[in-house]
Each structure stands twice: as structure tokens, then as C-alpha cells.
Amino acid sequence: MIILAVESSCDETSVAIFENDKTVLSHIVLSQMDIHAIYGGVVPEIASRNHIVHMTRVFEQAILEAKIDVKDIDLVAVTKGPGLIGSLLVGINAATAFAFAHQLPLIGVNHLIGHIYAANIENDLKFPALALLVSGGHTELIYMKDHMEFKLLGTTMDDAVGEAYDKVARTLGLPYPGGPVVDKLAALGKDTYHLPRPYLDKTAYNFSFSGLKSAVINVVHNANQRGEEINVNDMCASFQASVLDVLIEKTRNAANQLGVEQIIVAGGVAANRGLRSRIFKEIPDKNIIIPSMKYCTDNAAMIAAAAYYQYKKEGPLPNYLLGGYSSLDFE
């Protein structure tokens, strides 16, 4: 089965063409990071306008690099949410028009499920599995009994972990996107500020990072008031140590309680080198898989990987009517 997939939920315009669930025929990602960096974050209107400008070209490039004809495509898949609604609708309209014009089946894929299935591109999911989904907009623990069977165990009560990284980076005067910068500087510092670990109830699986973020802001503010200098490397190391302690502890507890076969770490924050290093060392008795760096951030390859299993289970949409959803739970 040849699958053409589209992702435009935030500020990456991406089209991928897969054969079944793993064979990547082409994968194009056009990032707007440099455009949004001057604003210190993604501006939704600018993001959607840039998707409009580049979407056709990305489609054409993906088909060209895949070395296929349009008639070879069997399925069109597109991210339906969650995400920025304006950005989502650009991808949905493009995918729907393409599918309708060529009379191809169409499905809408949950962006979060796509992140989980990014781990399946270069690995094999083994069930039962536990997914730790960590990104700029989401922090969740999800239990998977089988392909496309999800149970949400816990989520963030306030800030997503990636959002907390970006806000701490801004507080420290670091450039956008802040997560990779904090991760890099953390490797050069030490956990000297001893920030709180927001475990909430250790027996539960929900997260909270707004208090930790506020603790960093307060330490920096108080130091500025006293005319003292913050050691940025040490603050990054302290913040990251607190975050990773919580993520890994809750993941380990859930994995042990549920007796899972495998742990999947996915989402943009799965690219964090500190997390990638520590989780293998601290949960050595579980099979842990993490997507390659190129599949951690938003991309259409993960949508194609998920689409293969979703289509096998649910089939296509009965018509070409597909909406976008700024917020969307696991179905």
C-alpha cells in the first residue's frame, strides 16, 4: 500500500510517501522555525499563511522524490488535530482536494497518535506498551493494549513539559526554541539550585510543571533584585534534572504497575539528549524505543506510519468531509 501523508498542525509543512508502515519513499519537511524565532514563539496567522505558500511545492517534491506516479497512491492521510486550527485546515484542504481529484480514500489521523507511531518506523511496537508522549503542547502517559488501542493514564494539569522548557529559556534570556538550548546548556552545568520535584501523587500519573517553571522565575527574579548573577548552565541543569526525575519516575511506576512489554518515548521533547540518556539507564529492565531525532518533531512520516494501522482497522472516511480540531483526545 502506497500512502501519501500530510502534516501541518503547527509550523512544519510536511508531506511523506510510505509503502506500508515502514518503507519511506520520500519525506519532505519545510520548517518555519527561523521565521517565528524573531517573535519568540509560533505566530498562528503567520504559520498558516506560510503553509498556504509552500504546500503545493512540498506535495510536488514528495511525489518527485518518491519516484512514483499519482496513480500508484492507494491512500491519503492528513493530521486532523490537535494543533493550530488555521494551520490544520491548510493541510486538510490540500489533502482532501488531492484525494477527491484523484478519487483516493482519505483518513484523518490524530497528531498525538502519529507521534507514538513515529517509534514504529525504525522499530517494532510490542504490546502491551506504555507511551510517554512529551512535546510543546502535550505531556501524557498512554497505555496501549494493541495497535490503535489507547487508554490515557495521565496528562499535565497545566503546562506541557516542552512549554515549560520554552518559558524557562525565555526567563533566562535564551533564544527560541528554548528546549534544545536548555538541554545543551544543562550538559555543561550542575544541579546546584535544587528546584522542587512536582510529583503530585506518586501513585498517580498526572503531571504539573507550572510550579517548577514559577520556581525558576522566582529564583531569577530574586537574584536580579539582589544584583546577583544566575549561573545559566547550572539553572538549566537544575531545571532539567527536576523535569527528568518526574518524567522517569512516573513512567517507571506505570510500566511496573501495568507490566508492559515496552516503553515508547515520543514527541518533540523525546529529542532531549538528557532524557534519551537517563531513561535507558534508570529503567534498564524494560525495552525502550525512541524515534530518531528526525521523527521526534512534527513530520508527515509519523502520520503515514499511523495511517497504515488506522486504515486497516477503520477503513476510509465515508466521504471527503473532514474537519480540523484544535484540541483532540485519544479516540
C-alpha cell at 35: 521565521
Q: pTM of the predicted model, to two decimals?
A: 0.95
Structural domains of the chain, count: 2
* pLDDT confidence tier of residue 123, bands split at 50, 70 and 90: very high
CATH (domain of 45): 3.30.420.40
Span 300-327, pLDDT tens digits: 999 999 999 999 999 999 999 999 999 8
> pLDDT at position 119, please?
98
Average pLDDT over residues 155-164: 96
Q: What is the mean pLDDT of residues 152-165?
A: 96
The string of DSSP codes covering 203-225 is TS--B--HHHHHHHHHHHHHHHH
284, burial (CB in 10 Å: exposed 0-12, middle 13-18, buried 19+): exposed
Longest dimension (CA), the chain: 68
User: Distance of CA 267 to CAs 66, 78, 102, 135, 251, Å?
Assistant: 26, 18, 32, 5, 15
- Same domain, residue pair 57 and 101: yes
Residue 67 lies in a domain: yes
| β-strands 287-289, 12-19 pairing | unpaired
pLDDT at 331: 62
In a domain, 323, yes or no: no
Query: Mean pLDDT score of the chain, rounded to an integer?
Result: 96
State the Cα–Cα distance between residues 135 and 78, nearest whole angstrom: 20
pLDDT at 329: 78
Could you tell me if residue 198 is inside a domain? Answer: yes
The confidence band for 209, taking pLDDT boundaries of 50, 70 and 90, is very high
- Does residue 227 come out as left (phi exceeding 0), alpha (psi in the -120 to 50 range) or beta? left
Domain limits for position 167: 127-290
- What pLDDT score was predicted for residue 327? 86
- The answer to whether 165 touches 179, Cβ cutoff 8 Å, is yes
Assess if residue 133 is contained within a domain. yes
Quick check: 143 pLDDT over 70? yes
User: Element (H or E) spanning 4, and its range?
Assistant: strand 2-7
Segment 18-60, tens digit of pLDDT: 999 999 999 999 999 999 999 989 999 999 999 999 999 999 9
Beta carbons of 128 and 275 less than 8 angstroms apart: no
Predicted pLDDT of residue 200: 80
Q: Give residue-wise pLDDT tens across range 80-113.
A: 999 999 999 999 999 999 999 999 999 999 999 9
Same domain for 156 and 260, yes or no, is yes
Tens digit of each residue's pLDDT (9 = 90 or more) over 62-73: 999 999 999 999
Which stretch of DSSP H or E encloses residue 304? helix 300-314
Q: Is residue 329 part of a domain?
A: no
- Phi and psi dihedrals of 239, rounded to 5? -65, -45
